[in-house]
Chains A and B, each alone.
Chain A
Amino acid sequence: MERPNTIEAERLVREFKKGPRAVDGIDLRVEPGEIYGFLGPNGAGKSTTVLMLTTLLPPTAGTARVAGYDVVREGPDVRATIGAALQEAALDGLLTGREHLRLQATLQGLPRAERPARADELLERVGLMEAADRKVRGYSGGMKRRLDLALALVHRPRVLFLDEPTTGLDPQSRAALWTEVGRLAREEGVTVFLTTQYLEEADVLADRVGIIDHGRIVAEGTPAELKAQVGRPTVEAMPADERIADVLARFGEPVPSAKGVAVRLAGDADLTAIVRALDAKGLLVDNLQLHQPTLDDVFLAKTGRSLEGAGDEEEAASRGLAMQPAA
């Protein structure tokens, strides 16, 4: 009987010699057909976790199972089940896209007769049919990423690992990749473990998100659950006017605003009620915005830092540079 395509980790640890604890006892469980977004800044431990789950790096402690197979003791079974597109699209610039797919199909043990058709099918699916016979060194970053994804799918894996698949891609390529990843999970039941440092990517694509910082998972849940943990939406109105602030204060707790006045909405308040209240007072408002909490707010709440720039801060710290406090 086929095992469920889950991913499980218990107290997973990876220490490097003379280095920090890159992964520091993480627990996670990803259900079959789920897209799990692993969100964190550079150096948080995302890629190290992927390397351990794909059997490329042995854990220092803890256990992990992919599709029910232990990543240390049953490596070949794990590798037969998974597809992976790692952080750098590891391609051979001198081979064509089609040559890559045929090589991968052979190494994955696909029957000889099936290889050309499978290569064509995947080239078509990732939109590379026209470029199939061109050397990969002439591909754009987006094309390389799409080929990388196609290579990961050659043997029809039931679990897919994507390590920062859209880093450096233009918005169009990013959207195309999101569509394909979503389709794989929804239509083919593939379990997807996706690392990213992009808030939007985790928000749009992932069914559940795990936020990792300094090797530890600091928050986990659906994007909506995580954002709900942080609080209610805020409403911001411009210009900064005391009378507008008084009206807004009836709908929630005032919060600082750089450009105008703002409140965090109370339980059942909504934007239409605020608009009516402002209109009833005859107040003119230049701009009225509803801000939903973001995953960055979640990261900020859990770590005290903003996700954007957190990686730079860690890289600077690792180079021994003291971060100067803001003036």
Chain B
Amino acid sequence: MSDAADQIFVLARRSVVRTSRQPAQWIAPLVFPMLLLAVNSGGLKAVTHLPGFPTDSYVAFALAVPFIQGALFATMNAGTELARDIQTGFLNRLALTPLRGAALLAGHLGGVVALGLVQACFYLAVGLAVGVRPASGVGGVAVLLVFAALIALAFGSLGTWAALRTGSAESVQSLFPVFFVFLFLSSMAIPRNLIQQAWFRDVANANPVSYLLECVRSLIITGWNGEALGLGFGVVAAVGVGALALSARALPQRLAR
């Protein structure tokens, strides 16, 4: 293994080890989305009777939501952990080694992606356990996991950028409600074409989170849907590339070396 790969690996491992040793960091992203899924599936089951609703299983419809919630937790965790490293001076310790900035970002985000994948496998396992069968088959599950990893990377990069800009764990955490507003103003609970309120439908149409949800949903409910996949991967690529570019720009200032 090259020096750079070695460095990325140990930083990613540190990220995973840190999370595993803080139960609140991994229990919340696993349990809360499942609780919300259970509540929504029970309370909104009647929605499946609406003409044009894409499935008769609300659990299958709502299973996409935990994937996005998991990404929000990834954003929080990635940002908070990095901000804490800045606040404690641990980032200065890293800055005093020959570690390259790109390797630092890659290692940090590598851990976030690994945890995002663990979350995605858990959500999928719960879905399978309650009878959801992905319409796109085994291949679709593989694509779903890749998509989950990319969402974790993209949103983790956003959290990383926030941490690098503010240097404060509290500031990063204050972003959480903002992200949740995006989630609630999307097609989270009902397909966009069935939203009756015009303003809400317009907001959901403009909200990129809707397309992330529909990408996951297409793989679970409708099978291979090029448009949904294209929009979903397009949104995640745009967010990811943008956030990574911003993080890469902010890192040298924060390393100050």
The 8 Å CB contact of A90, one of B11, B14, B88, is B88
B92: chain A residues within 8 A (beta carbon): 56, 86, 90
On whether A88 and B88 interact (CB within 8 A), knowing A56-B256, A75-B257, A79-B96, the answer reads yes
Q: Which residues from chain A contact B95 at a C-beta distance below 8 Å?
A: 56
Q: Is A151 an interface residue (CB 8 A)?
A: yes
> Cβ of A56 and Cβ of B98 under 8 Å apart?
no
Residue on B nearest A135 in the bound complex, by CB: B21
Is B90 touching A56 in the complex (CB atoms < 8 A)? no
Instruction: For A109, give the chain B residue with the smallest CB separation.
Output: B3
Given the complex, which residues of B lie within 8 Å of A92, measured CB to CB? 14, 18, 85, 88, 90
Q: Is A54 in contact with B89, judged by CB distance below 8 angstroms?
A: no
Assess whether B170 is interfacial by the CB under 8 Å rule: no
Q: How large is the interface on B (under 10, 10 to 19, 20 to 34, 35 or more residues)?
A: 20 to 34
Q: Please give me the residue from chain A that is nearest to B91 by CB atom.
A: A90
CB-contacts of B209-257 with A (<8 A): 256-257
The reply to whether B98 and A109 form a contact with Cβ atoms under 8 Å apart is yes
Interface of chain B, main secondary structure:
helix
Stretch from A3-11, A100-108, A117-125, A210-218 contacting the other chain:
A100-108
Which residues of A are found within 8 Å of B6, using beta-carbon distances? Answer: 106, 112
User: In angstroms, how far is the closest chain A Cβ from the Cβ of B167?
Assistant: 14
In B1-33, which residues have CB < 8 Å from any A CB? Answer: 1, 3, 6-7, 10-11, 14, 17-18, 21-22
Most chain A C-beta atoms within 10 Å of own C-beta, residue among B11, B89, B93, B94: B93
Question: Please, which residues of chain B bring their CB within 8 A of the CB of A57?
Answer: 256
**A99 and B94 alpha carbons, distance in the complex (Å):** 14
Q: Which single member of A54, A56, A94, A151 contacts B21 (CB below 8 Å)?
A: A94
Query: Which one, A55, A80, A82, A90, contacts B90 given CB within 8 A?
Result: A90
Residue A58 at the chain B interface, CB threshold 8 Å: yes
Closest partner residue, chain A, to B257 (CB atom): A55
Asked if B146 is at the interface (CB within 8 A of a chain A CB), the reply is no
Q: Which residues of B contact A55 (CB under 8 A)?
A: 96, 257
Compute how far the CA of A91 lies from the CA of B88 in the bound complex, rounded to whole angstroms: 8
Cα-based distance from A54 to B90 in the complex (angstroms): 15
B256 contact set on A, CB distance < 8 A: 56-58
Chain A hits for B21, CB < 8 A? 94, 135
Which residues of A are found within 8 Å of B22, using beta-carbon distances?
94
Q: How far is the CB of A27 from chain B (nearest CB, A)?
A: 23
Query: CA of A103 to CA of B9 in the docked complex: distance in angstroms?
Result: 10
Q: Is the CB of A82 within 8 A of B88?
A: no
Query: Closest chain A residue to B99 by CB distance?
Result: A107
B97 touches A107 (CB 8 A): yes
Q: Which of B42-78 contact A (CB under 8 A)?
A: none
The reply to whether B18 and A107 form a contact with Cβ atoms under 8 Å apart is no
Closest CB in chain B relative to A144 CB, distance in Å: 12
Complexed CA–CA distance, A92 and B86 (Å): 11
Within the complex, which residue of A84, A99, A102, A135 is in contact with B96, where a contact is CB–CB below 8 Å? A84
- Is A103 touching B14 in the complex (CB atoms < 8 A)? yes
In the complex, what distance in Å separates the CA atom of A95 from the CA atom of B11?
12
Q: How far is the CB of B241 from chain A (nearest CB, A)?
A: 27
- Report whether A79 and B90 are in contact in the complex, using a CB–CB cutoff of 8 Å: no
Determine if A88 and B89 form an interchain contact, defined as CB atoms under 8 angstroms apart: yes
In the complex the two chains form, what is the Cα distance from A94 to B84 in whole Å?
12
Whole-angstrom distance between the alpha carbons of A137 and B74 in the complex?
A: 24
Chain B CB count within 10 A is highest, among A57, A95, A135, for A95
In the assembled complex, which residues on chain B have CB atoms less than 8 Å from the CB atom of A20? none
Q: A65-87 toward B: CB 8 Å interface, digit per residue (1/0)? A: 00000000001100110101010
A90 to B90: give the CA distance in the assembly, Å: 5
Answer whether A106 and B7 are a contact pair too, CB < 8 Å, given A57-B256, A95-B14, A95-B17.
yes
Find B97's partner among A56, A79, A95 (CB 8 Å cutoff): A79
Residue of A84, A99, A103, A151 with most chain B CB atoms under a 10 A cut-off: A103
Nearest to B1 among chain A residues (CB) is A112
User: Do A107 and B257 contact each other (CB < 8 Å), given the known contacts A86-B89, A92-B90?
Assistant: no
Which residues of B come within 8 Å of A, CB atoms?
A: 1, 3, 6-7, 10-11, 14, 17-18, 21-22, 85, 88-90, 92-99, 256-257
Which residues of A come within 8 Å of B, CB atoms? Answer: 54-58, 75-76, 79-80, 82, 84, 86, 88, 90-92, 94-95, 99, 102-104, 106-109, 112, 135, 151
Q: Which 9 residue pairs are nearest across A and B when measured between Cβ atoms?
A: A90-B89, A107-B97, A106-B10, A90-B90, A94-B21, A90-B93, A55-B257, A94-B18, A88-B89
CB<8 Å pairs between A and B, sample of 19: A56-B96, A56-B256, A79-B96, A79-B98, A86-B93, A90-B90, A90-B93, A91-B90, A92-B88, A95-B17, A99-B17, A104-B93, A106-B6, A106-B7, A107-B10, A108-B97, A109-B3, A112-B1, A112-B6
- Known pairs A82-B96, A108-B98 / 10 extra A-B pairs, C-beta < 8 Å: A56-B95, A57-B256, A90-B88, A92-B18, A95-B14, A99-B14, A102-B10, A106-B6, A107-B7, A108-B97
